[in-house]
């Protein structure tokens, strides 16, 4: 199909869906500048490239060689696009750098923002290639295959229903076998219904989850199907050879508890600025992975053990074990970013609001480990609506800004807007306050003991006015119920469960409508360095 699009942007702060912390970061607020290295502007990438080259010149050649070999091995059973193949090979060159995003292995990609993260990453590499033609830039999706929070990833939402995979497996989710997903396939086959686009979605699900043995391989296949032709490189860092490159940093973490000391200090500084902390460091920020186990490593009087198991080591035995089996050691949320930046020639990490906040907690640990801290870019956020929905919104006089109001404010605004009666007592309340100023002056001049009584009367009368306003509004809501229902139904379609569409809706809903044009249209519309929320109307 040939599709056309209409684009609008609004500032993140005006959506009321993004924290002050993130909005202050986007505004380059002075008090946050100590917590990041360079702000993600096009002109700042040159200095980031030079610093990354300088800091990795001693280890670069070997680590790039290992990275390329690992990627080739991981792609050996995948149909790989010419562009992705070129990108993997180019990583051997000292003039090639990555832009990286990471995401959990959500069932069938999970919420829509999975797409926005990857598209932001692809589009930024294109922009950098145009600006810095002497270098190559590769978009990387880092699979969170070592995560162990299965409940966060074992479902996706489809038209108000939760499509869920039930499994009793434990440990790193990338290792999970795909047994039990046949039942999920039966459910989605019925839900997606007939039609060409539905058949494509079913084929992707079947090929990914029924024809691959584990969740990491299934996710790699699906992401490659969606983005391979655009040159995306998908990396599973749960690999012995890659972890061998990270041994020096793991040594330091085990022996010196570097992250705990550094990040705890940073957290204190953030708390002094009344900023909410996203993650807290452990004394040791590494897990141990083996045979369905992923549990914390702890230390007590120089005896190291794996929590809730009988596995223990002396310090010497632990370090020997790390040298022999580095793949059994897994970074937690504090150490994962450091691992990423050690094994990749990376310039910038693209993530969501929560990720940006915890990355801002980590710079001091990078400095202690002598690893270059990457630029941090908030991923694109978007609301996608159809031409039909846009026409309905226009007919009902609902603006883009109105859509972001909470439900009650949205309803009240629409009642006032479409009612023939003006139900807004703001001016009456203000007039009442002016009158009471004169009464306060009178009490002051006659008997100050009456001031409390005057105040009580003012509060009572203002409260009475507001109560009357609320009753009249409710009466109008009943009278205008049909029109208000049409408005709220539209808002609910675009903001399911009164949350952002991208945090709730799965891509399959949009793919059913727009088919193979969906991703090209998103690639055309999303501007990673724009710094504003996108509202996209697709025909």
Kindly list the strands in the beta sheet with 382-386, ordered across the sheet, starting from the edge strand earlier in the chain. Answer: 5-10, 533-538, 382-386
Nearest one of 3, 114, 194, 18 to 506, comparing CA atoms: 114
Nearest one of 241, 227, 338, 215 to 281, comparing CA atoms: 338
Residue 145 CA to residue 100 CA, distance in Å, equals 15
Helix axes 196-205, 181-192, angle to 10 degrees: 170
Give Cα separations from 82 to 101, 138, 219, 231, 270 (angstroms). 21, 13, 20, 8, 45
Q: Given this model, what pLDDT does residue 488 score?
A: 94
36 touches 363 (CB < 8 A): yes
DSSP 10: E
φ and ψ at 513, to 5 degrees?
A: -85, -40
Residues forming beta bridges with residue 376, ordered by sequence position = 349
- E strand spans, 94-179: 96-103, 136-143, 155-158, 161-164
- Could you tell me the domains of the chain? 17-174+213-237+347-383 (3.40.50), 247-331 (no CATH)
Nearest one of 161, 123, 109, 141 to 511, comparing CA atoms: 109
Give Cα separations from 478 to 392, 393, 419, 467, 482 (angstroms). 21, 21, 12, 17, 9
Give CA torsion, residues 383, 112, 503, 356, to 10 deg: -100
The two three-digit tokens of residue 277, written as one number: 């902390």
Residue 232 CA to residue 102 CA, distance in Å, equals 12
pLDDT in tens, the chain (539 residues): 456 899 999 999 999 999 999 999 999 999 999 999 999 999 999 999 999 998 877 778 899 999 999 999 999 999 999 999 999 999 999 999 999 999 999 999 999 999 999 999 999 999 999 999 999 999 999 999 999 999 999 999 999 999 999 999 999 999 999 999 999 999 999 999 999 999 999 999 999 999 999 999 999 999 999 999 999 999 999 999 999 999 999 999 999 999 999 999 999 999 999 998 999 999 999 999 998 999 999 999 999 999 999 999 999 999 999 999 999 999 999 999 999 999 999 999 999 999 999 999 999 999 999 999 999 999 999 999 999 999 999 999 999 999 999 999 998 888 778 775 566 767 787 888 888 888 887 777 777 777 888 788 888 888 888 887 788 777 766 767 888 889 999 999 999 999 999 999 999 999 999 999 999 999 999 999 999 999 999 98
The two three-digit tokens of residue 387, written as one number: 């031409």
Nearest one of 130, 148, 149, 127 to 139, comparing CA atoms: 127
The two three-digit tokens of residue 59, written as one number: 């280890």
What ranges in 132-257 are assigned the alpha helix state H?
150-153, 181-192, 196-205, 215-227, 240-245, 247-256
Please report the DSSP string for 45-87 in residue order: HHHHHHHHHHHHTTTHHHHHHHHHHHHHHHTTTS---HHHHHH
443 touches 454 (CB < 8 A): yes
**218 Cβ contact partners less than 8 Å away, ≥ 6 residues apart:** 105, 178, 208, 209, 212
236 touches 220 (CB < 8 A): yes
Kindly list the strands in the beta sheet with 293-300, ordered across the sheet, starting from the edge strand earlier in the chain. Answer: 312-314, 303-306, 293-300, 286-290, 329-331
Furthest C-alpha separation in the chain:
92
User: To 5 degrees, how large is the angle CA 382–CA 225–CA 359?
Assistant: 50
Residues forming beta bridges with residue 298, ordered by sequence position = 305
Residues forming beta bridges with residue 296, ordered by sequence position = 287
Residue 319 CA to residue 303 CA, distance in Å, equals 12
Residue whose structure tokens are 């702060």: 13
**280 Cβ contact partners less than 8 Å away, ≥ 6 residues apart:** 263, 267
pTM comes to 0.89
Give Cα separations from 77 to 67, 92, 237, 251 (angstroms). 17, 21, 17, 34
């Amino acid at each position: 199909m040939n599709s056309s699009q209409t684009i609008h942007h609004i500032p993140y702060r005006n959506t009321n869906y993004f924290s002050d912390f993130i909005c202050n970061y986007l505004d380059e607020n002075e008090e946050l500048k100590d917590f990041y290295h360079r702000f993600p502007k096009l002109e700042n990438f040159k200095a980031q490239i030079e610093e990354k080259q300088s800091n990795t010149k001693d280890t670069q050649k070997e680590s790039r060689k290992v990275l390329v070999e690992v990627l080739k091995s991981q792609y050996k059973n995948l149909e790989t696009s010419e562009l992705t193949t070129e990108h993997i090979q180019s990583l051997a060159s000292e003039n090639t750098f990555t832009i990286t995003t990471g995401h959990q292995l959500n069932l069938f990609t999970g919420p829509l923002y999975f797409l926005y993260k990857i598209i932001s990453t692809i589009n930024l590499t294109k922009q950098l290639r145009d600006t810095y033609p002497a270098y190559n830039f590769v978009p990387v999706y880092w699979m969170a295959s070592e995560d162990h929070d299965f409940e966060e990833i074992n479902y996706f939402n489809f038209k108000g229903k939760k499509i869920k995979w039930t499994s009793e497996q434990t440990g790193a989710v990338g290792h999970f076998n795909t047994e039990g997903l046949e039942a999920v396939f039966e459910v989605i086959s019925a839900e997606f219904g007939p039609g060409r686009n539905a058949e494509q979605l079913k084929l992707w699900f079947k090929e990914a989850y029924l024809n691959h043995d584990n969740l990491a391989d299934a996710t790699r296949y699906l992401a490659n199907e969606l983005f391979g032709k655009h040159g995306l490189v998908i990396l599973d860092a749960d690999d012995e050879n890659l972890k061998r490159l990270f041994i020096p940093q793991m040594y330091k973490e085990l022996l010196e508890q570097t992250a705990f000391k550094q990040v705890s200090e940073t957290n204190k500084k953030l708390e002094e600025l009344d900023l909410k902390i996203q993650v807290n460091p452990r004394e040791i920020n590494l897990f141990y992975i083996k045979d369905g186990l992923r549990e914390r490593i702890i230390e007590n009087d120089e005896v190291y053990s794996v929590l809730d198991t009988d596995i223990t080591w002396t310090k010497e035995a632990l370090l020997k074990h790390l040298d022999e089996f580095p793949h059994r050691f897994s970074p937690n949320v504090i150490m994962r970013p450091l691992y990423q930046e050690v094994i990749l020639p990376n310039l910038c990490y693209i993530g969501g609001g929560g990720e940006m906040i915890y990355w801002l907690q980590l710079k001091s640990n990078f400095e202690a480990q002598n690893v270059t801290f990457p630029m941090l870019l908030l991923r694109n956020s978007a609301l996608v609506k159809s031409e039909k929905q846009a026409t309905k919104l226009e007919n009902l006089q609902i603006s883009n800004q109105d859509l972001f109001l909470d439900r009650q404010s949205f309803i009240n605004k629409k009642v006032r807007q479409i009612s023939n009666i003006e139900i807004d007592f703001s001016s009456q309340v203000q007039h009442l306050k002016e009158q009471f100023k004169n009464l306060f002056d009178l009490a002051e001049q006659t008997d100050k003991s009456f001031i409390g009584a005057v105040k009580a009367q003012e509060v009572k009368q203002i409260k009475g006015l507001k109560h009357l306003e609320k009753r009249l509004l409710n009466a109008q809501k009943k009278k205008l119920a049909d029109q208000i229902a049409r408005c709220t139904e539209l808002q609910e379609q675009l903001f399911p469960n009164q949350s952002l569409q991208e945090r709730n809706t799965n891509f399959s809903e949009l793919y059913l409508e727009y088919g193979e044009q969906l991703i090209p249209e998103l690639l055309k519309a999303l501007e990673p360095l724009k710094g504003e929320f996108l509202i996209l109307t697709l025909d």
